[in-house]
Structure 1
């Protein structure tokens, strides 16, 4: 398999997680990547059943002239790895935060949560679902959900379902990605278990992992990006 040279990227395309948006993924990654002279591109999600394809289109466009680093948070991390598998000569590395599962979603906590959220939106509408989803959660998370879910509008339920139903790369798939990969996990995140990130770490040939905590990310979103970028550097990214 021909792969891109690890040190050849000056651009990273970062994809948001399930029901999240470009604002959060930018807050996570932009400054940590700038510190290593990599510019972050954070495409706005296209709501609806074509959500994943729109992400792939953004990666294709960015990588038209030179290899790029691909990455994202949660579902965005899955899509980044999926794209890298399809375009190994165009991906110079991976920065992956909070992968939620590998292979079929099954009863992975992230998939179960997204399916339940989609049902809630279809039943109560966006505003009604937000009232339920933000009840009792930390203020920072309530703020993120309110902004991003409203941004999806009428396409929110279909977007949540699209993410919940899409298989992530299997461990066998991940074993074919012979490029520097940095993984970030939160030790206190029940939706994105650290054990799943460790399975990605074991499967990827050239990966390292760094951890942080959700309570830190709530105050300092860049902590998640710093963990992923530091892991990528330790894996051989440059």
Structure 2
């Protein structure tokens, strides 16, 4: 089979509280168009980061080099894994990065901590109802599904995410594989300035932007943005 990257496998890590189904919806069609099979990882809420790292390592043993993609927390894990496994990373896609370095006081970490605390105090049904009433329908629909699947360990997963230290800019600057960062221009939880800073720091990177309405209309816009950016940064495709 002819593909545009020196692998057939793209491993996608969802964001905090999200699931493999959303990651599949976001990436599979665009990745299939360039010869990649999307392997979307469902997080283990009792150990989200460890489950992501285990999945990346397992797919590397199976496929050799892989395209590594992540959303929000998944982007932070993907970047750190790529920094430690450069020879196994064919390309890197970092979507909606939430913070750089220490998460303390950032919008995403504060949101995760608040939600975890509320879940412990009033339970899943009440928090899900409140979230659904204040979120865009596409996001509420996704989180209703994924939160129910991750309950009762969901508060632990959210707290783990809120503690997770991302790479600093100088660490990002040492990541050499072709990379695209995708930021949302109107997402207060994942500030566009974080995406811009990451894209400036990464040495072989392009930035692509979307809006929340675009994601809501078609989550596949994320995958298309990734492929558009990676095609500019990747070398001529081999036969694979």
TM range (shorter): over 0.9
Distance (Å, rounded) in 2 between the aligned partners of 1:188 and 1:123: 30
Residue number in structure 2 paired with 1:126: 124
Distance (Å, rounded) in 2 between the aligned partners of 1:85 and 1:9: 18
Name which of 44, 53, 62 aligns with 2:59. Answer: 62
In structure 2, stretches of 5+ residues that fail to align are none
Question: Under a length normalisation based on structure 2, what TM-score does the superposition of the two structures give?
Answer: 0.93
1:103 Cα shift?
0.5
Distance (Å, rounded) in 1 between the aligned partners of 2:80 and 2:160: 15
1:99 Cα shift?
0.4
Question: Under a length normalisation based on structure 1, what TM-score does the superposition of the two structures give?
Answer: 0.94
Name which of 93, 96, 106 aligns with 2:94. Answer: 96
Structure 1 residues 145 and 7: alpha-carbon distance in aligned structure 2, compared to 1, 3 A threshold: closer
Residue number in structure 1 paired with 2:187: 189
In structure 1, stretches of 5+ residues that fail to align are 1-5
* Superposition CA RMSD, Å: 1.3
Distance (Å, rounded) in 1 between the aligned partners of 2:230 and 2:193: 19
Distance (Å, rounded) in 2 between the aligned partners of 1:222 and 1:203: 26
Distance (Å, rounded) in 2 between the aligned partners of 1:136 and 1:194: 21
- Give the ranges of 4+ consecutive aligned residues of structure 1 lying more than 4 Å apart after TM superposition: none
Q: Tell which deviates more after alignment, 147-156 or 221-230.
A: 221-230
Residue number in structure 1 paired with 2:50: 53
Residue number in structure 2 paired with 1:71: 69
- SS at 2:92's partner residue? strand
Name which of 200, 205, 208 aligns with 1:207. Answer: 205
Distance (Å, rounded) in 2 between the aligned partners of 1:225 and 1:97: 9
